[in-house]
Amino acid sequence: MSALKMAQCGITSSKTVLVFLNLIFWAAAGILCYVGAYVFITYDDYDHFFEDVYTLIPAVIIIAVGALLFIIGLIGCCATVRESYCGLATFVIILLLVFMTEVAVVVLGYIYRAKVENEVNHSINEVYDEYNGTNSNAQSRAIDYVQRQLQCCGIHNYSDWQSTHWYEESKNNSVPISCCKTNTGSCTGSLTHPEDLYQEGCEALVVKKLKEIMMYIIWTALTFASIQMLGMLCACVVLCRRVRDPAYELLITGGTQA
């Protein structure tokens, strides 16, 4: 009877943890989809500074994994409650595939994170040269947005504007209004009052922002890959007990042992 009780205790603990993890998988699915959508939205704001669209591959995979986790959570809960060998085996296999996918996301995240600085350095000069100050110009909207959001001005500092086509054509010795500090309401962008302008350049801040986005993806993938490892472990415990432990077979068939 002691063997039966030990089997029951082990199985109950594993099943409880497994059901709890499946609930976490549902929450994780929503978080992964949110992170993927956040990357897409943020990339849209900075896409002029980063031309490699393949950078979005980790975000696409994260969203796909999030959608799959909804299904995994359902399969896992049903298989655990019903103690289905086939269901639990399917659950483990799918979790293993998702785990491998998330490892790939981490690797891709690190690869593209290393490429960010070179990409931005290559494209940012072209974007500033195409600035014309109108809202209909995509480059102008992108630069004004970045300068306001990151509180920066120019590529390395506000003096970089003096070498742009926009500055030469405007001939008013000023920089865009988006360079003005938020607490200076009378700022017109004039270079005669540089204290009213953001002092830091945008290049380094754009690189920092894009690297942060990649780190969000990497840490999200690592966190949920760790949770999935625990889920696979608990499912394997239940499966192995059922296959190898006669006391477990006696437990689920309602038998007794002297």
pTM, two decimal places: 0.73
Over residues 210-253, the pLDDT tens digits come to 888 888 888 888 888 888 787 777 777 767 765 555 444 444 44
Output the DSSP codes for 189-247: -BTT-GGGB--S-HHHHHHHHHHHHHHHHHHHHHHHHHHHHHHHHHHHHHHHHHHH-HH
**CA 54 to chain centroid:** 15
Among positive and negative, which fits the CA dihedral 177, 181, 187, 193?
A: negative
Mean pLDDT in order along the chain per 10 residues (258 residues)? 48 65 79 83 74 71 83 75 73 84 85 82 86 84 90 92 88 90 84 91 90 85 83 74 51 44
Distance CA 257, CA 176 (A): 84
Quote the pLDDT of residue 242.
57
C-alpha to C-alpha distance for 174 and 92, rounded to whole angstroms: 63
User: pLDDT digit string (tens) for 66-85?
Assistant: 888 888 777 777 776 676 67
The dihedral built from the CA positions of residue 216, 221, 226 and 227, taken in this order, carries a sign that is: positive
Q: What proportion of the chain, given as a percentage, has pLDDT over 90?
A: 13
Report the b/e string of 198-226 with b at 16+ CB within 10 A: beebbbebbbebbeebbebbbebbeebbe
Residue 248, pLDDT score: 46
